[in-house]
Amino acid sequence: MKEVFVTRKIHPAGLALLKKAGYKITVYPKDQMIEKKELLAGVKGKDALLSLLTDKIDEDVFKAAGPRLKVVANYAVGFDNVDLQAAKKHNVTVTNTPSDKVNESVAEETFALMMALARRIAEADHFSKHGQYKGWAPMLLNGVDVYGKTLGLIGAGRIGSMVARRAVNGFGMKLIYSDMRPNSELEKQLGAKKVSLVNLLKKADFISLHVPLLPSTRHMISTKQLAMMKPGAFLINTSRGPVVDEKALLKALRSKKIAGAGLDVFECEPAIDCDLRDNLELKSFENVILTPHIASATEAARRDMSEIAAKNIIAVLKGKKALTPAKV
């Protein structure tokens, strides 16, 4: 009987598919990130590993698993937590879980952060709930309009494109983007203009990050880039935390070089702040909205991720090609 180790409780739809396929499934019983020693023990002798983006799947894991391991199905769109070279060395297929449902969910979260920043929703909620509202006032919590403003996408792939459609079709925003490859569809359908990263930083009112975490994208937004942004511009990150240099962002917020930030991911995740000793914390800024890596946290998206991960495992263990192999 084929055996699968799952590193944390996930949506049951995928587990049901694995059971139907006749596999023995072991799910890590604690609802928390698995410790390395328990991961190494759990994967030993297994045919498949269903991992999360919080699990570091490295050489130690492949060695502990042994020769039976054929597939690592990462329950995430990104797979920067998996050492692909080590996987190749051990002849293990690595897969991820891209899907339109997941992409739409992330796009919605991105736009929700953008709107909340522009209209100061979090500040207004706190203001109202804490008895500060004494009556209408002409200058009370004035925000900024989104309509007609310029959205700059850093990364114009599937998720970036979905954000773009909402922005242009729903709010009449102007669209510019920076990417390694041109997106002719966005240009034809939405009037998007491909520009350099420098020009995007200088022109956009809202900047949204949609890039994978690679050596080339780590800290791609740091002191130099933040200094190029408009003083009234907002930064939104629903991609990966280390794409933004947290120290640089904190300094930019403190000096009011930018208007605010909406973050669903953090550089030292799960810690929201990398260094608490500097007395400069993300949570201390009223113009920063923080969400705990929930951009894809909808029932439909998480079900889809679970089923895709399971289908990848079933395909590989049956000697077929993976549905969604991880590709750099």
CB environment 16-39: b (16+ within 10 A), e (fewer): ebbeebebebeebeeeeebeeeeb
Residue 284 in 3-state DSSP?
helix
Q: Which residues contact 222 (CB under 8 A, 6 or more apart)?
A: 244, 245, 248
Q: Which residues contact 177 (CB under 8 A, 6 or more apart)?
A: 152, 153, 154, 155, 156, 160, 164, 183, 186, 192, 193, 194, 195, 200
Q: Give me the catalytic one of 240, 246, 267, 307.
A: 240
Residue 286 is among the residues annotated as catalytic for this protein: no
Q: What is the DSSP string of 241-260?
A: GGGB-HHHHHHHHHTTSSSE
Q: Which residues pair with 75 in a beta bridge?
A: 52
Q: At which residue do the structure tokens 């300094």 appear?
A: 251
Residue type, 270: P
CB atoms inside a 10 Å sphere around CB 303: 17
Q: What is the DSSP string of 149-208?
A: PEEEEE--SHHHHHHHHIIIIIH--EEEEE-SS--HHHHHHH--EE--HHHHHHH-SEEE
Q: Which residues pair with 72 in a beta bridge?
A: 49, 94
Q: What is the dihedral of CA 52, 55, 59, 60, to 10 degrees?
A: -120
Q: At which residue do the structure tokens 């054929």 appear?
A: 70
**Cross-sheet strand order for the sheet of 48-52:** 24-27, 3-6, 48-52, 71-75, 93-95
Residue 240 is among the residues annotated as catalytic for this protein: yes
Residue 269 is among the residues annotated as catalytic for this protein: yes
Residue type, 63: K
Q: Give me the catalytic one of 11, 90, 293, 302.
A: 293
Percentages helix, strand, coil for the chain, rounded to the nearest 5?
40, 15, 45
Residues known to be catalytic: 240, 269, 293
